[in-house]
Structure 1
Amino acid sequence: MVFAACEQQPLALLILHDPLKAGAAEALERLSRKGYRLHLLTGDQEKTAQAIARQLGIQEVAAERLPEEKGAYIRTLQQEGAQVAMIGDGINDSEALSHADLSIAMGTGTDIAMEVAEVTFMRQDLGLIEKTLALTNKSVRIIRQNLFWAFIYNSLGIPIAAGILYPAFGFLLNPMLAGAAMALSSVSVVMNSLRLK
């Protein structure tokens, strides 16, 4: 609220607020339906934070927090066993972003927030959060698959290439075939990773 007065006589009262971005409530509702716990962590006053949280459907609100308190809040959630994704755009968010498991900055925010964050959204679209989390989960799944198959391949291939079958069966792997098999292994990892597209 902004008051205007002249010679101690009130002239005007202005109430200013930033409107919510279009689609913000819907994007957060989709995340909530998928089981994500949503928190509003802000340095703003409690009343303002609660009003915004109601509009966005967020149940857990931590208001009037200093930057170091935001960082402590993130660490507390992690100590409770949560994996935390933090979205922020200001200098005051940079410490919390640095502690989060996944940190996301808005491209319209401060340089320090973008420097600290692992992901930067170039447009203010909270719908990108859902896409980012889905891509992250899929990437982790594919990394685990690649590691699993590389482990299996190397566990079998290296002993055979070293001649483990020679004493029992008289079989030695041709070095050219071993090189081709190694290349084929790398190609299979790349092909599996291309599924991210």
Structure 2
Amino acid sequence: NVFVPVVVTMSIVTFAVWFFIFGNQSLALTTMVAVLAISCPCALGIATPAAIMIGVGKGAENGVLIKNNAVLEVVKNLDTVVFDKTGTLTKGKLDVTDIVADDRRKILEVAAIAEKWSEHPIGQAIVKKAENEGISVAEPESFDALPGFGVTGEVKGKKVLIGNRALMKNNNVSVQQLENEIEKLESEGKTVLIVAVKGKAAGAIAVSDTVKEHSKEAISALQKMGLKVIMLSGDTRRTAEAVAKQLGIDEVLAEVVPAQKVDEIKKLQSQGRFVAMVGDGINDAPAITQANVGIAIGSGTDVAVDSGDIVLVKDDPRDVATSIKLSRKTLGKIKQNLFWAFFYNIIMIPLAAGVLYSTLGVLIPPEAAATSMILSDITVVGNSMLLRRFKP
């Protein structure tokens, strides 16, 4: 809409100057045609799509799917990366490690029955532990999941609560007698569930998740890029900080219930931060959508994957750094291509118009102008092709 009319106008002006002012009809025709031939809207037109096509293709080769090309512009401003803990930095496969109770088997049975209908990994881990120990897990009389707190149900006519301190506090259940054991387990990075029966704390069950093999390396790579890394978790602060310490993360947002995750992202953005959110679960989807750049783990839920601007196919946290590096490289190539395309036209069009002919005798014939235009396109494509050499 702009470039072509400007070039056509310049070619007419060039003809008019050489024909009417200098009286040289041959030179007027030659320079007019040369201006039209040497101008290169193609280089401007392919500068962005060529780099994006090759960058996105290279990302796919490395297990990084860039779904939203607009994030390439945003990534350059990123200064903060927020990771959800479970399933993103950890494997999300929980195992029961400790049971604190006078009657260990009885508490495990009660907890397993109460959690039998739970879809949460913690509840499933408790049921699995009971079954592995030969306990018959009956159906609860009632069940209610309380996201961010735990579950409540009725087992053999007794009301059972299983969850965190907040759930116990909301139901006026004292956990003072278990506090020392709970603190010890949490300091080891374990998630502790308190089991209350008929309004009294009867025991505690600890579950542990294994940190992914390359999580620490991934965090280190992001920090070396100058990015602030934050871990987001629904665990208690003591548990979350123990895991963060293993990974070298120095900022933790703990005890965040699922509904508050998006609020934490908004809070960071209100501080002027450009935030990438990395998650895998359905509870992460709103936060992934809210973040400036949403990164979803491909092995996670469909909702999380659909919410992400970038999807990591291989379930490898190191690919977060790869996706950011590749996005920045691709944006860099786009800028280089645009610079070359503008620079070429700014320099070559006046030369084709004959601005140096009167003083230096420099004149670009139409056939050379056409060749120059083709070379300009080749340069842009060739520069974009250098992205093929990108290595994570």
**Contact kept? 1:5, 1:12, Cα under 8 Å:** no
Instruction: Work out whether residues 4 and 13 of structure 1, in 8 Å CA contact, stay in contact via their aligned partners in 2.
Output: no
Structure 2: give runs of 5+ residues left out of the alignment. 1-95, 100-106, 111-155, 159-196
Residue matched to 1:185: 376
Q: CA deviation at 1:168?
A: 4.6
**1:67 and 1:95 in contact (8 A); partners too:** no
Aligned-residue CA RMSD (Å): 3.3
1:40 has 2:144 as partner:
no
1:106-150 CA-to-partner distances (Å, cap 9, x unmatched) read: 111111221221221112211222222222222222222112111
SS of residue paired to 1:15 = strand
In structure 1, runs of 5+ residues without a counterpart are none
Selected match of 1:111 from 302, 315, 324: 302
3-state DSSP of counterpart to 2:207: coil
CA distance in 2, matches of 1:31, 1:25: 10
- Spell out, residue by residue over 1:11-42, the C-alpha distance to the aligned partner (whole angstroms, 9 max, x if none): 99643222111121232133224432110123
| Alignment map for 1:70-89 (pairs within 5 Å) | 70-89=261-280
Q: Which moved more, 1:104-113 or 1:165-174?
A: 165-174
The SS at the match of 1:104 is strand
Corresponding position of 1:165: 355
Residues 24-70 of structure 1, C-alpha deviation per residue, up to 9 Å, x if partnerless? 12321332244321101234444443332222221211234355643
Which structure is larger by alpha-carbon Rg, 1 or 2? 2
Structure 2 residue aligned with 1:4: 108
TM alignment of 1:5-84, pairs within 5 A: 5=109, 14-66=205-257, 69-84=260-275
Aligned length: 196
CA 1:13/1:100 → structure 2, altered by over 3 Å: closer, same or farther? closer
Identity of aligned residues (%): 37
The CA deviation at 1:188 is 0.8
Deviation (angstroms), 1:95: 2.2
Give the structure, 1 or 2, with the largest relative contact order (CA under 8 Å, sep 6 or more): 2
- Matched residues in 2 for 1:174 and 1:72: separation? 64
In 2, the alpha carbon distance for the partners of 1:75 and 1:172 equals 59
Instruction: Give the corresponding residue for 2:331.
Output: 140
Report the TM-score, using the length of structure 2 for normalisation.
0.43
CA contact (8 A) 1:67 1:96 kept: no
CA contact (8 A) 1:85 1:104 kept: yes
